[in-house]
Chains A and B, each alone.
Chain A
């Protein structure tokens, strides 16, 4: 715990705050978080899990630039929060059922509404619901799934609904192609792949941290950490906010939208 105290800068917003702006997890809170990656099974945060999750203060911080990693290709980002755990083959109908597809993601008020319906299509067997009724942000900022996450319909409303609900990253064993691509193209969520079946290792409500640059997921509740597959060249695209923002940032297309 002493190490945590010295190496973590805690930022303010509460996990369940639904006013939590999207940018908080990125540059605005670029502080000094560094989590050593050498721990295997024990993590000094383990005792955090004994406290009530809702009282936890999330770490919305990024790692300091490290000379050993390429800042060009891997965004130095950390996501911290509660995870929501799903199984295999979570299709886009479960993420956002077709009756809500009348909402147009490019319209800001409808974008918010899509968030309020995120994962509403999950069957009743998921006792803990992802969204509280009446809320438009979820208290879960990380979604963990099994194989073939996001299969089915090509609806871009799916990654959009998750992003609008406040999800920063999905961690799954594998993805359906279109969901993966839509996540990158929109920059809404990081579609990360785990090396092991994390949905069997984590439980809904566990407190987790994802170190993007280290491709690492730490479950503070269980004290275990897991290697993720590197996000690779998709990382900077998502970091920029999607393909258009990335293309502008890198000079592929003119930086200003013609009027």
Chain B
């Protein structure tokens, strides 16, 4: 009985789109009165998920499974799974942070007992990253709660910070959890990672099943090491073609979200394949997977390949075995993109699917630019911004805030001389361009946070941001306007004070 707990009757609404082959284009019929006839009519529109799936293959022929189905099958000790099944999945890694960790710990203690031990001290990763450089006492207390718990439970991976005056005095401190997970080798192909943060899906870049959960579920995992999960059907995104030099993975995912809407992948997995995806670096693959939740997706995956293995070299000693979609795997629908024909895009306020071409927004005057977060605060994101600044040789016209995701990113910005910048580091380029000094690594203003958070939008400003969400109030002020964009577009916009297509500087 419990095993079907998660099988809600939800059939998410999908906007009509140009590329999808799905038959979901019907909209809900507004029914003025409760007529049974009308209700039945809606029900027939509302239940396409099952009918879309072809009948199961029977007999000795094994039904093909997608990568996500195979990962969940192995982790639930099944030989076969189909979408919609609810299974108890063994968890390889549970991640939590300072915003949801204390609540998770509270539930763990309440339900498993004050003296209970976590299921595996080496499989829980605790990363303070959200509200760190603040004088907010409750925020500071929450990091203390994490520390006390990690001491008590002897948690192996706790990336602590004690000296808030200088993050560099804290060698253990990493920064934004999703990037830290990758850099510290916790993202491994074929495994299952759960985290108390919706952007946990970032780790799908490694061919890992990774998704966000709430405190209560995380409290359960902490004690039991497993969780009841519903197997999602998979949407497949095939991206082929050479990536133009003015595009970044952020443009691709904003393109996709604009295509399928903010609910287009609800309860679904998104698998990214094709020659373009194969050509992407790990950090760019992370950008792609990071934002699947902005389309409602449960997880996103990129098949592991030599790029993945190279990134993982020296990062983990844990053995892993990648899994790949079978040739006969069933996909709910397939979307194809010729990347060479795409243009730089932004998501206009106040929804990540409110897509527009960057050049269509050239008259939008902006007040600031923010480069940071798990989505857009990685080393390559800063390299991209620096490349554009360097190519232009100009200075920014609006305040430009730089928040590296992790301590390693910060170090890269300051220490890696870039040959194409004449041997200068990113930090030198940023200084010459008149940007704010790169700040201490943390989630920061991406989600507002405490009032004293660096670069938080305390006034109703217009911001171009490399972050992931532009809901009302997201960066602090309810009347603020956020344009989500790639690091190229963000940097180009900083130079002009308007939303700007990076081709103005890169070609």
Contacts and interface: CB of A to CB of B under 8 A. Distances in A.
A136 interface: no
Interface size class of A (residues with CB under 8 A): 35 or more
Interface in B431-479: 447-451, 469, 471-474, 476, 478-479
A147 B263 contact: yes
A247 B2 contact: yes
Contact of A98 (B12, B293, B448): B448
A257 B110 contact: yes
B106 A155 contact: no
B197 A154 contact: yes
B266 interface: yes
Interface stretch (B64-72, B111-119, B382-390): B111-119
Contact of A257 (B34, B42, B111, B266): B111
Contacts of B8: 175, 180, 184, 191, 193, 232, 234
Given A106-B110, A154-B198, A243 B263 contact: no
Interface string A119-147: 00111100000000000000000000001
B448 A97 contact: yes
A176 B298 CA distance: 10
A196 B130 contact: no
Nearest to B217: A185
A101 to B, nearest CB: 5
Interface in B300-343: none
B9 interface: yes
Contacts of B136: 102
Given A99-B476, A246-B2, A177 B9 contact: no
A250 B138 CA distance: 37
Contact of B216 (A99, A225, A244): A244
Nearest to B107: A106
B215 A174 contact: no
Interface in A97-119: 97-99, 101-107
Interface stretch (A1-9, A19-27, A55-63, A87-95): A87-95
B447 A153 contact: yes
A123 B213 CA distance: 27
A185 B214 contact: yes
A154 B106 CA distance: 17
Given A124-B479, A177-B296, A257-B110, A99 B448 contact: yes
Contacts of A107: 106
Contact of B30 (A94, A175, A177, A196): A196
A112 B419 CA distance: 56
Contacts of B356: none
A209 interface: no
A151 B479 contact: no
B450 A40 contact: no
Nearest to A238: B5
A243 B224 CA distance: 13
A218 to B, nearest CB: 9
A195 B42 contact: yes
Contacts of B84: none
A243 B42 CA distance: 31
A36 interface: no
Contacts of B198: 152-154, 178
B34 A233 contact: no
Interface in B1-44: 1-2, 4-13, 28-36, 38-39, 42-43
B7 A152 contact: no
Interface string B202-223: 0000000000111111011000
A147 B111 contact: no
A45 to B, nearest CB: 15
A123 B42 contact: no
B262 interface: yes
Interface string B126-146: 000011000010110010010
B76 interface: no
Interface of B: 1-2, 4-13, 28-36, 38-39, 42-43, 46, 99-100, 102-103, 105-107, 110-116, 130-131, 136, 138-139, 142, 145, 196-198, 200, 212-217, 219-220, 262-263, 266-267, 293, 296, 298, 351, 447-451, 469, 471-474, 476, 478-479
Given A123-B479, A227-B39, 20 more contacts: A40-B33, A91-B469, A98-B99, A98-B474, A105-B215, A148-B263, A153-B197, A155-B100, A156-B214, A174-B12, A180-B8, A185-B217, A185-B220, A193-B8, A196-B28, A196-B29, A196-B38, A201-B30, A234-B5, A237-B2
Complex A-B, nearest 4 residue pairs according to Cβ-Cβ distance, in ascending order: A106-B106, A156-B214, A182-B214, A258-B113
25 contacts: A41-B34, A93-B472, A93-B474, A98-B448, A98-B474, A102-B138, A102-B139, A121-B478, A147-B263, A154-B100, A155-B100, A156-B214, A156-B216, A174-B10, A174-B11, A178-B212, A181-B214, A182-B214, A182-B216, A191-B8, A193-B10, A225-B34, A231-B9, A243-B220, A258-B116
